[in-house]
Amino acid sequence: GKRLRPLLVLLSARSFNYAGDKHHLLAAIIEFIHTATLLHDDVVDESNLRRGNETANALFGNAASVLVGDFLYSRAFEMMVDIDDMRVMQILATTTNVIAEGEVMQLMNVHDAETTEEKYLEVIYCKTAKLFEAAAQLGAILCQRNDAEVQAMAAYGRHLGTAFQLIDDVMDYSSNSEQMGKNVGDDLAEGKPTLPLIYAMQQGNAEQVVTIKSAIEKGGYDKINEVQAIIQQTGALEYTEKMAQQQAQLAIKELTHLPDSENKTVLENIARLSVYRSH
């Protein structure tokens, strides 16, 4: 996922034959906003590992992480002024708001074993898919494309971002920390009820449900092996992967609005590859 969001801005703009230079600035703005969210995320989650490296808060403390995140947000909005487009400003302001709402929603769901699939999907739309949506549609807006094309690019980004997060949640229970750049079972340890857990509780027997509920409510790594076994037995990872594949296909379908080009092919391949990161 490294630099994927700014890449979407560039590919979207180039797909519509953008001839200016503001797409580079817009890509930087998207990356600044993304990095700011990561810095604040890691403080909220008390995470100590990201992409296989120590997090900023683990290295420098929470105060520095929060302040640098604040600086990146404010710098991003300062850079937006140079784009000189109120529609771009509106989308980025709304996106930043929605991401913050997603953070609050996720915080409310922590240690809540009653979290539904619907609530989970709402959180990942706000926290992850919304920025993908903005990145993809902003390229079309720069090119002053019609509303149908702008909305198609927004939908592409939304579906791609959803697929991307679903696979992230699969990888939390199916790979080692070196491969995914975080500790295995981090979501469970933080008490986050992600889709593999929600589905496992829907499909599991009474004893399995009690085990997962207890693990979500208490957090920590004590029951990670038991929970991983239940997730495997109930087919929760396969279910989550299948949903990710469906989202990736929906993303690709939206690209029919684009003229054929190498950039369009890259966007299609990004959607496919987002799902196969777990293999």
Q: Are 129 and 162 in contact (CB under 8 A)?
A: yes
**Confidence (pLDDT) at 257:** 86
Quick one: which of 15, 245, 241, 29 has its CA closest to 135?
A: 29
The ranges of the chain with pLDDT < 50 are 177
**Confidence (pLDDT) at 177:** 46
Please give the single-letter amino acid code of residue 154: A
* The two three-digit tokens of residue 98, written as one number: 């929605």
Q: Is 133 buried (19+), middle (13-18) or exposed (0-12) by CB count in 10 A?
A: buried
Domain boundaries, the chain: 4-276
| Angstrom distance (rounded) from CA 201 to CA 115 | 11
Quick one: which of 119, 35, 109 has its CA closest to 72?
A: 35
| Angstrom distance (rounded) from CA 148 to CA 172 | 36
What Cα–Cα distance (Å) separates residue 123 from each residue in 45, 128, 173? 15, 8, 19
Q: Is 196 buried (19+), middle (13-18) or exposed (0-12) by CB count in 10 A?
A: buried
Greatest extent of the chain over all pairs of C-alpha atoms, in Å? 61
**Confidence (pLDDT) at 221:** 87
Neighbour tally for 66: CB within 10 Å: 17
Bridge partners of 49? Answer: 54
pTM: predicted TM-score of the whole model, two decimal places: 0.92
**Confidence (pLDDT) at 151:** 97
**Confidence (pLDDT) at 215:** 95
Question: Which CATH architecture best describes the domain 4-276?
Answer: Orthogonal Bundle (1.10)
Instruction: Give the chain's end-to-end CA distance (angstroms, integer).
Output: 15
Listed in sequence order, the DSSP H helices in the chain are 4-15, 22-45, 56-60, 62-83, 86-109, 117-124, 130-142, 147-171, 177-180, 186-189, 195-203, 206-218, 224-233, 236-254, 262-276
Collapsed DSSP state (helix, strand, coil) of residue 54:
strand
**Confidence (pLDDT) at 182:** 59
Residue written as tokens 């008490």? Answer: 191
